[in-house]
Structure 1
Amino acid sequence: MGNTKSGAVSKELLQDLKISTKFSEAEITQWYENFQKQCPSGRITPAEFEAIYGRFFPESDAKSYAQHVFRSFDTNDDGTLDFREYIVALHMTSSGRMTLKLEWAFSLFDVDKNGYITKSEVCEICQAIFKLIPKEKVDDLPSDENTAEKRAEKLWGYFKKGDNDRVAEGEFIDGIMANADAMRLIQYEPTK
Protein backbone atom coordinates (compact mmCIF):
# COMPACT_ATOMS: atom_id res chain seq x y z
CA MET A 1 0.00 0.00 0.00
CA GLY A 2 1.25 3.24 -1.32
CA ASN A 3 4.71 4.48 -0.82
CA THR A 4 5.58 6.58 -3.77
CA LYS A 5 8.92 8.28 -4.05
CA SER A 6 7.26 11.67 -4.52
CA GLY A 7 7.42 14.29 -1.82
CA ALA A 8 3.82 14.01 -0.61
CA VAL A 9 1.91 11.21 1.02
CA SER A 10 -0.90 9.89 -1.20
CA LYS A 11 -4.48 10.84 -0.30
CA GLU A 12 -5.43 7.16 -0.01
CA LEU A 13 -2.60 6.38 2.40
CA LEU A 14 -3.27 9.54 4.38
CA GLN A 15 -6.96 8.63 4.82
CA ASP A 16 -6.11 5.03 5.72
CA LEU A 17 -3.60 6.14 8.36
CA LYS A 18 -5.93 8.77 9.82
CA ILE A 19 -8.54 6.07 10.37
CA SER A 20 -6.26 3.28 11.56
CA THR A 21 -4.04 5.39 13.83
CA LYS A 22 -6.13 8.39 14.85
CA PHE A 23 -3.11 10.61 14.09
CA SER A 24 -3.93 13.96 12.54
CA GLU A 25 -3.31 14.75 8.89
CA ALA A 26 -0.63 17.26 9.91
CA GLU A 27 1.17 14.68 12.07
CA ILE A 28 1.12 12.04 9.33
CA THR A 29 2.32 14.54 6.73
CA GLN A 30 5.19 15.68 8.97
CA TRP A 31 6.23 12.09 9.73
CA TYR A 32 6.08 11.27 6.03
CA GLU A 33 8.39 14.16 5.17
CA ASN A 34 10.86 13.06 7.87
CA PHE A 35 10.59 9.42 6.79
CA GLN A 36 11.36 10.37 3.17
CA LYS A 37 14.42 12.37 4.29
CA GLN A 38 15.75 9.54 6.43
CA CYS A 39 14.73 6.76 4.01
CA PRO A 40 14.77 8.10 0.46
CA SER A 41 14.04 4.62 -0.88
CA GLY A 42 10.74 4.66 1.01
CA ARG A 43 11.75 1.58 3.00
CA ILE A 44 13.70 0.73 6.14
CA THR A 45 15.92 -2.34 5.90
CA PRO A 46 16.63 -4.61 8.86
CA ALA A 47 20.22 -3.27 9.04
CA GLU A 48 19.00 0.34 9.12
CA PHE A 49 16.46 -0.56 11.79
CA GLU A 50 19.14 -2.30 13.89
CA ALA A 51 21.33 0.81 13.63
CA ILE A 52 18.46 3.03 14.77
CA TYR A 53 17.71 0.71 17.68
CA GLY A 54 21.37 0.57 18.62
CA ARG A 55 21.35 4.33 19.17
CA PHE A 56 18.62 3.90 21.81
CA PHE A 57 20.68 1.28 23.65
CA PRO A 58 24.31 2.35 23.16
CA GLU A 59 25.62 0.35 26.13
CA SER A 60 23.80 -2.84 25.20
CA ASP A 61 23.51 -5.48 22.49
CA ALA A 62 20.25 -4.44 20.83
CA LYS A 63 20.66 -6.44 17.61
CA SER A 64 18.54 -9.51 18.43
CA TYR A 65 15.78 -7.44 20.06
CA ALA A 66 15.75 -5.06 17.08
CA GLN A 67 15.39 -8.07 14.76
CA HIS A 68 12.33 -9.26 16.69
CA VAL A 69 10.81 -5.78 16.78
CA PHE A 70 11.42 -5.41 13.05
CA ARG A 71 9.72 -8.77 12.41
CA SER A 72 6.68 -7.70 14.42
CA PHE A 73 6.41 -4.43 12.47
CA ASP A 74 6.93 -6.00 9.02
CA THR A 75 3.30 -7.01 8.67
CA ASN A 76 3.50 -7.90 4.98
CA ASP A 77 6.66 -10.00 5.52
CA ASP A 78 8.57 -8.39 2.64
CA GLY A 79 11.74 -7.84 4.68
CA THR A 80 11.42 -4.04 4.82
CA LEU A 81 9.29 -1.46 6.59
CA ASP A 82 7.37 0.97 4.43
CA PHE A 83 5.83 4.19 5.69
CA ARG A 84 2.48 2.60 6.50
CA GLU A 85 4.07 -0.14 8.61
CA TYR A 86 6.27 2.45 10.31
CA ILE A 87 3.35 4.72 11.28
CA VAL A 88 1.12 1.86 12.42
CA ALA A 89 4.01 0.58 14.55
CA LEU A 90 4.58 4.05 15.98
CA HIS A 91 0.90 4.28 16.85
CA MET A 92 0.80 0.83 18.46
CA THR A 93 3.86 1.38 20.60
CA SER A 94 3.21 4.98 21.59
CA SER A 95 -0.56 5.23 21.91
CA GLY A 96 -1.94 5.59 25.38
CA ARG A 97 -4.09 2.45 25.10
CA MET A 98 -2.50 -0.35 27.09
CA THR A 99 -4.36 -3.06 25.18
CA LEU A 100 -2.95 -1.76 21.89
CA LYS A 101 0.59 -1.89 23.29
CA LEU A 102 -0.03 -5.40 24.58
CA GLU A 103 -1.39 -6.52 21.21
CA TRP A 104 1.91 -5.38 19.73
CA ALA A 105 3.85 -7.09 22.55
CA PHE A 106 2.01 -10.30 21.74
CA SER A 107 3.10 -10.04 18.10
CA LEU A 108 6.67 -9.51 19.31
CA PHE A 109 6.55 -12.68 21.43
CA ASP A 110 4.76 -14.69 18.70
CA VAL A 111 8.02 -15.41 16.90
CA ASP A 112 6.58 -17.94 14.44
CA LYS A 113 3.43 -15.83 13.83
CA ASN A 114 1.05 -18.74 14.45
CA GLY A 115 -1.25 -16.84 16.82
CA TYR A 116 0.10 -18.42 20.01
CA ILE A 117 3.06 -17.97 22.31
CA THR A 118 5.03 -20.91 23.63
CA LYS A 119 7.47 -21.07 26.49
CA SER A 120 10.36 -21.35 24.03
CA GLU A 121 9.22 -18.11 22.33
CA VAL A 122 9.05 -16.39 25.73
CA CYS A 123 12.60 -17.63 26.38
CA GLU A 124 13.80 -16.33 22.99
CA ILE A 125 12.36 -12.84 23.53
CA CYS A 126 13.53 -12.70 27.14
CA GLN A 127 17.05 -13.51 25.88
CA ALA A 128 16.82 -10.56 23.48
CA ILE A 129 15.41 -8.25 26.17
CA PHE A 130 18.11 -9.32 28.60
CA LYS A 131 20.81 -8.30 26.11
CA LEU A 132 19.43 -4.74 26.30
CA ILE A 133 20.27 -4.53 30.00
CA PRO A 134 23.75 -3.08 30.56
CA LYS A 135 25.98 -5.49 32.47
CA GLU A 136 26.35 -3.11 35.40
CA LYS A 137 22.54 -3.00 35.80
CA VAL A 138 22.14 -6.78 35.97
CA ASP A 139 23.43 -6.81 39.57
CA ASP A 140 20.51 -4.58 40.55
CA LEU A 141 17.90 -7.07 39.32
CA PRO A 142 15.97 -9.28 41.75
CA SER A 143 17.56 -12.72 42.14
CA ASP A 144 14.66 -14.40 40.33
CA GLU A 145 15.18 -12.14 37.27
CA ASN A 146 18.96 -11.78 37.03
CA THR A 147 19.32 -14.10 34.03
CA ALA A 148 17.30 -14.33 30.85
CA GLU A 149 16.24 -17.86 31.79
CA LYS A 150 14.97 -16.82 35.24
CA ARG A 151 13.15 -13.86 33.71
CA ALA A 152 11.46 -16.11 31.14
CA GLU A 153 10.54 -18.68 33.79
CA LYS A 154 9.00 -15.99 36.00
CA LEU A 155 7.06 -14.48 33.10
CA TRP A 156 5.80 -17.86 31.89
CA GLY A 157 4.64 -18.60 35.45
CA TYR A 158 2.18 -15.69 35.32
CA PHE A 159 0.24 -17.49 32.59
CA LYS A 160 -0.17 -20.62 34.73
CA LYS A 161 0.69 -22.89 31.81
CA GLY A 162 2.77 -26.03 31.52
CA ASP A 163 6.07 -26.11 29.65
CA ASN A 164 4.41 -27.51 26.51
CA ASP A 165 1.26 -25.36 26.59
CA ARG A 166 0.67 -22.21 24.60
CA VAL A 167 -0.88 -18.81 25.29
CA ALA A 168 -3.38 -17.06 23.01
CA GLU A 169 -3.41 -13.28 22.58
CA GLY A 170 -6.31 -12.70 24.99
CA GLU A 171 -4.65 -14.82 27.68
CA PHE A 172 -1.40 -12.93 27.15
CA ILE A 173 -3.06 -9.54 27.50
CA ASP A 174 -5.09 -10.60 30.56
CA GLY A 175 -2.04 -12.21 32.20
CA ILE A 176 0.14 -9.15 31.72
CA MET A 177 -2.53 -6.66 32.76
CA ALA A 178 -3.24 -8.67 35.92
CA ASN A 179 0.31 -8.30 37.20
CA ALA A 180 2.60 -5.27 37.25
CA ASP A 181 5.66 -7.52 37.49
CA ALA A 182 4.67 -9.26 34.27
CA MET A 183 4.39 -5.89 32.54
CA ARG A 184 7.89 -5.00 33.67
CA LEU A 185 9.28 -8.34 32.48
CA ILE A 186 8.13 -7.95 28.87
CA GLN A 187 10.20 -4.82 28.34
CA TYR A 188 13.37 -3.02 29.26
CA GLU A 189 13.56 0.72 29.34
CA PRO A 190 16.94 2.31 29.86
CA THR A 191 17.22 4.85 32.64
CA LYS A 192 17.88 8.32 31.40
Structure 2
Amino acid sequence: MGKKNSKLKQDTIDRLTTDTYFTEKEIRQWHKGFLKDCPNGLLTEQGFIKIYKQFFPQGDPSKFASLVFRVFDENNDGSIEFEEFIRALSITSRGNLDEKLNWAFRLYDVDNDGFITRDEMYNIVDAIYQMVGQQPATEDENTPQKRVDKIFDQMDKNHDDRLTLEEFRDGSKADPRIVQALSLGGD
Protein backbone atom coordinates (compact mmCIF):
# COMPACT_ATOMS: atom_id res chain seq x y z
CA MET A 1 0.00 0.00 0.00
CA GLY A 2 2.92 2.32 0.45
CA LYS A 3 2.30 5.78 1.83
CA LYS A 4 -1.45 5.72 1.28
CA ASN A 5 -2.30 8.95 3.10
CA SER A 6 1.10 10.60 3.34
CA LYS A 7 -0.18 14.01 2.24
CA LEU A 8 -3.56 15.38 3.11
CA LYS A 9 -5.37 16.92 0.18
CA GLN A 10 -6.87 20.36 0.71
CA ASP A 11 -10.40 19.10 0.01
CA THR A 12 -9.93 16.46 2.75
CA ILE A 13 -8.73 19.14 5.16
CA ASP A 14 -11.68 21.37 4.25
CA ARG A 15 -14.11 18.49 4.80
CA LEU A 16 -12.53 17.59 8.15
CA THR A 17 -12.56 21.19 9.42
CA THR A 18 -16.27 21.24 8.56
CA ASP A 19 -17.05 17.77 9.99
CA THR A 20 -14.95 17.97 13.17
CA TYR A 21 -14.12 20.37 15.98
CA PHE A 22 -10.50 20.69 14.84
CA THR A 23 -8.80 23.56 13.04
CA GLU A 24 -6.75 23.05 9.89
CA LYS A 25 -3.55 23.44 11.91
CA GLU A 26 -4.69 20.83 14.45
CA ILE A 27 -5.71 18.41 11.71
CA ARG A 28 -2.30 18.75 10.07
CA GLN A 29 -0.58 18.15 13.44
CA TRP A 30 -2.73 15.09 14.19
CA HIS A 31 -2.09 13.76 10.68
CA LYS A 32 1.66 14.15 11.11
CA GLY A 33 1.53 12.20 14.40
CA PHE A 34 -0.78 9.59 12.88
CA LEU A 35 1.65 8.95 10.02
CA LYS A 36 4.56 8.79 12.46
CA ASP A 37 2.80 5.95 14.29
CA CYS A 38 1.21 4.46 11.16
CA PRO A 39 3.54 5.11 8.20
CA ASN A 40 1.23 3.31 5.78
CA GLY A 41 -1.70 5.49 6.83
CA LEU A 42 -3.60 2.66 8.50
CA LEU A 43 -4.01 1.83 12.18
CA THR A 44 -4.63 -1.87 12.74
CA GLU A 45 -6.54 -3.33 15.64
CA GLN A 46 -3.30 -4.70 17.12
CA GLY A 47 -1.71 -1.26 16.84
CA PHE A 48 -4.76 0.28 18.51
CA ILE A 49 -4.55 -2.22 21.38
CA LYS A 50 -0.84 -1.45 21.76
CA ILE A 51 -1.66 2.25 22.20
CA TYR A 52 -4.25 1.45 24.88
CA LYS A 53 -1.74 -0.76 26.71
CA GLN A 54 0.56 2.26 27.09
CA PHE A 55 -2.21 4.16 28.89
CA PHE A 56 -3.42 1.27 31.04
CA PRO A 57 -0.32 -0.67 32.13
CA GLN A 58 -1.96 -1.93 35.35
CA GLY A 59 -4.80 -3.71 33.58
CA ASP A 60 -5.60 -5.45 30.32
CA PRO A 61 -7.20 -3.02 27.88
CA SER A 62 -7.24 -5.48 24.95
CA LYS A 63 -10.96 -6.26 25.03
CA PHE A 64 -12.02 -2.63 25.52
CA ALA A 65 -9.61 -1.40 22.84
CA SER A 66 -11.04 -3.94 20.37
CA LEU A 67 -14.55 -2.71 21.10
CA VAL A 68 -13.53 0.93 20.66
CA PHE A 69 -11.65 0.01 17.48
CA ARG A 70 -14.90 -1.33 16.02
CA VAL A 71 -16.58 2.07 16.50
CA PHE A 72 -13.61 4.02 15.11
CA ASP A 73 -13.51 1.74 12.03
CA GLU A 74 -16.58 3.29 10.41
CA ASN A 75 -16.32 1.40 7.12
CA ASN A 76 -15.57 -1.94 8.82
CA ASP A 77 -12.52 -2.66 6.70
CA GLY A 78 -10.38 -3.82 9.61
CA SER A 79 -8.24 -0.70 9.88
CA ILE A 80 -8.63 2.91 10.92
CA GLU A 81 -7.75 5.51 8.32
CA PHE A 82 -6.83 9.02 9.43
CA GLU A 83 -10.25 10.47 8.58
CA GLU A 84 -12.00 7.85 10.73
CA PHE A 85 -9.52 8.49 13.53
CA ILE A 86 -9.92 12.26 13.55
CA ARG A 87 -13.73 12.15 13.36
CA ALA A 88 -13.95 9.80 16.36
CA LEU A 89 -11.35 11.79 18.27
CA SER A 90 -13.30 14.97 17.58
CA ILE A 91 -16.46 13.52 19.10
CA THR A 92 -14.83 11.87 22.09
CA SER A 93 -12.61 14.84 22.96
CA ARG A 94 -14.65 17.88 21.89
CA GLY A 95 -18.16 16.77 21.03
CA ASN A 96 -21.18 17.90 22.97
CA LEU A 97 -22.84 15.56 25.44
CA ASP A 98 -25.39 14.20 22.95
CA GLU A 99 -22.66 13.48 20.38
CA LYS A 100 -20.62 11.67 23.02
CA LEU A 101 -23.63 9.69 24.16
CA ASN A 102 -24.51 8.70 20.59
CA TRP A 103 -20.92 7.53 20.14
CA ALA A 104 -20.99 5.64 23.44
CA PHE A 105 -24.29 4.02 22.45
CA ARG A 106 -22.62 2.73 19.28
CA LEU A 107 -19.85 1.32 21.46
CA TYR A 108 -22.27 -0.51 23.74
CA ASP A 109 -24.55 -1.66 20.89
CA VAL A 110 -22.07 -4.29 19.74
CA ASP A 111 -24.36 -5.93 17.16
CA ASN A 112 -25.61 -2.57 15.80
CA ASP A 113 -29.29 -3.50 16.15
CA GLY A 114 -30.26 -0.20 17.76
CA PHE A 115 -30.51 -1.60 21.29
CA ILE A 116 -28.14 -2.33 24.14
CA THR A 117 -28.85 -5.69 25.74
CA ARG A 118 -27.67 -6.79 29.17
CA ASP A 119 -25.08 -9.04 27.49
CA GLU A 120 -23.73 -6.15 25.43
CA MET A 121 -23.61 -3.90 28.48
CA TYR A 122 -21.85 -6.65 30.44
CA ASN A 123 -19.33 -7.05 27.62
CA ILE A 124 -18.33 -3.37 27.82
CA VAL A 125 -18.43 -3.06 31.62
CA ASP A 126 -16.33 -6.21 32.00
CA ALA A 127 -13.85 -4.82 29.45
CA ILE A 128 -13.64 -1.56 31.40
CA TYR A 129 -13.02 -3.43 34.67
CA GLN A 130 -10.27 -5.49 32.98
CA MET A 131 -8.71 -2.36 31.51
CA VAL A 132 -8.62 -0.47 34.79
CA GLY A 133 -7.19 -3.50 36.56
CA GLN A 134 -9.15 -3.08 39.79
CA GLN A 135 -12.74 -3.36 40.87
CA PRO A 136 -14.69 -0.39 42.22
CA ALA A 137 -14.76 -0.22 46.00
CA THR A 138 -18.52 0.13 46.40
CA GLU A 139 -20.28 -3.11 47.26
CA ASP A 140 -23.12 -2.58 44.79
CA GLU A 141 -20.70 -2.23 41.86
CA ASN A 142 -17.81 -4.53 42.76
CA THR A 143 -18.51 -6.90 39.85
CA PRO A 144 -19.41 -6.17 36.23
CA GLN A 145 -22.74 -7.98 36.68
CA LYS A 146 -23.71 -5.85 39.68
CA ARG A 147 -22.82 -2.70 37.71
CA VAL A 148 -24.91 -3.86 34.73
CA ASP A 149 -27.86 -4.68 36.99
CA LYS A 150 -27.65 -1.24 38.58
CA ILE A 151 -27.44 0.47 35.17
CA PHE A 152 -30.44 -1.44 33.85
CA ASP A 153 -32.43 -0.74 37.04
CA GLN A 154 -31.81 2.97 36.46
CA MET A 155 -32.16 3.15 32.67
CA ASP A 156 -34.50 0.43 31.41
CA LYS A 157 -37.72 2.35 31.92
CA ASN A 158 -40.00 -0.16 30.16
CA HIS A 159 -38.23 -3.21 31.68
CA ASP A 160 -37.73 -5.02 28.38
CA ASP A 161 -34.08 -5.89 29.15
CA ARG A 162 -32.74 -3.71 26.40
CA LEU A 163 -31.93 -0.01 26.18
CA THR A 164 -32.96 2.28 23.38
CA LEU A 165 -30.80 5.26 22.46
CA GLU A 166 -33.30 7.48 24.26
CA GLU A 167 -33.21 5.39 27.46
CA PHE A 168 -29.42 5.32 27.30
CA ARG A 169 -29.15 9.07 26.76
CA ASP A 170 -31.64 9.92 29.50
CA GLY A 171 -30.06 7.47 31.94
CA SER A 172 -26.54 8.69 31.20
CA LYS A 173 -27.56 12.28 31.76
CA ALA A 174 -29.05 11.24 35.11
CA ASP A 175 -25.90 9.21 35.99
CA PRO A 176 -22.85 10.92 34.42
CA ARG A 177 -20.56 8.10 35.63
CA ILE A 178 -21.61 6.19 32.50
CA VAL A 179 -19.92 8.79 30.34
CA GLN A 180 -17.00 9.25 32.73
CA ALA A 181 -16.36 5.51 32.76
CA LEU A 182 -15.66 5.72 29.06
CA SER A 183 -13.41 8.75 29.47
CA LEU A 184 -15.83 10.68 27.31
CA GLY A 185 -16.83 13.16 29.96
CA GLY A 186 -14.73 16.10 28.86
CA ASP A 187 -13.26 18.51 31.35
Q: TM-score, normalising length from structure 2?
A: 0.89
Give me the whole-angstrom Cα distance separating, in 1, the residues matched to 2:110 and 2:38. 27
Cα deviation code 1:61-120 (max 9, x no counterpart): 100000000011111010100001100111111015122211111111010012211111
For the residues of structure 2 that align with 1:8 and 1:21, how far apart are their CA atoms? 19
More relative contact order, 1 or 2 (CA 8 Å, 6+ apart): 2
Give the whole-Å Cα distance in 2 for the aligned partners of 1:46 and 1:160: 32
Alignment correspondent of 2:144: 148
Task: Give distance in 2, aligned partners of 1:187 and 1:51.
Answer: 18
Q: Does 1:172 align with 2:168?
A: yes
TM-aligned CA deviation for residue 30 of structure 1: 1.1
Matches within 5 A, 1:1-192: 5=4, 7-135=6-134, 138=135, 141-161=137-157, 164-184=160-180, 186-187=181-182
Q: CA deviation at 1:129?
A: 0.8
Q: What is the CA–CA distance in structure 2 between the aligned matches of 1:141 and 1:178, rounded to whole Å?
A: 21
Q: Report the Cα distance in structure 2 between the residues aligned to 1:23 and 1:97, rounded to whole angstroms.
A: 14
CA distance change for structure 1 residues 44 and 120 in 2, over 3 Å: closer, same or farther?
same
Report the number of matched residues.
Answer: 182
Percent of aligned positions that are identical:
38
In structure 1, the gaps of 5 or more residues are none
CA contact (8 A) 2:21 2:95 kept: no
Which amino acid counterpart does residue 174 of structure 1 have in structure 2? Answer: D
For the aligned residue pairs, the C-alpha RMSD in angstroms reads 2.0
Residue 181 of structure 1: CA displacement?
4.4
* Unpaired stretches in structure 2, ≥5 consecutive residues: none
